[in-house]
Amino acid sequence: MLGKLTGQRPPDLGGADLLHEWDEVATTLEKVLAERGEGTGTQLVADAVVHELDLRCALAEPLPARHPAYASAFRFGMAGMDRSVREKGVPAVTFTTGEEFWPLGGDDPVASVRAEPVDLLRSLSGRRTHAQIARLSWSADPAPWLPAFTWGPFTPPGSPVEEMIR
């Protein structure tokens, strides 16, 4: 697949080489998606960045606090979480990273949760336990919203798979 995107034969990849190759392919992919218009490929980008973070965890590499793909990943993740909040009938809630915020589940949020972008994205993508999600900065008891973190293909694990950033 790497060869198809870059037009070159992929190298034999060790951990650091793989992350470097990933960065190069991601840049090419982002350009292709940008040419196709706003909103195209948000699930693809979200999937790619989530798995990049999985790879970084597996290689004991640090997770980036900021990433150029986070904005697209959040568009996908927040749309799915909004559906989940509504389907599960829990009250509206606002998610915020400090720079951005997303009111989900209706017009009158009764609570908010604040987190570093990487912690919020990992929570939305089934990489954080309910206990870890509950440790984010909630303005109210998070218990009513924890079931909403199970949506689409994502289910919080029973035990931690990685530590939180904050």
**Average pLDDT of the segment spanning 80-90:** 97
**Average pLDDT of the segment spanning 37-62:** 84
Tell me the domain boundaries of the chain: 2-58, 70-149
Q: Does residue 137 carry a pLDDT above 70?
A: yes
* Residue 139 pLDDT class (50, 70, 90 cuts): very high
103-121 per-position pLDDT tens digit: 999 999 999 999 999 999 9
CATH of domain 70-149: 3.30.1050
For the ranges 13-22, 47-56, 106-115, 147-156, the lowest mean pLDDT is seen at 13-22
**Average pLDDT of the segment spanning 5-12:** 54
**Whole-structure pTM over 0.95, yes or no?**
no
Please answer whether residues 5 and 29 qualify as being in contact, where contact means their C-beta atoms are separated by less than 8 angstroms: yes
Two tokens at 122? 């990992």
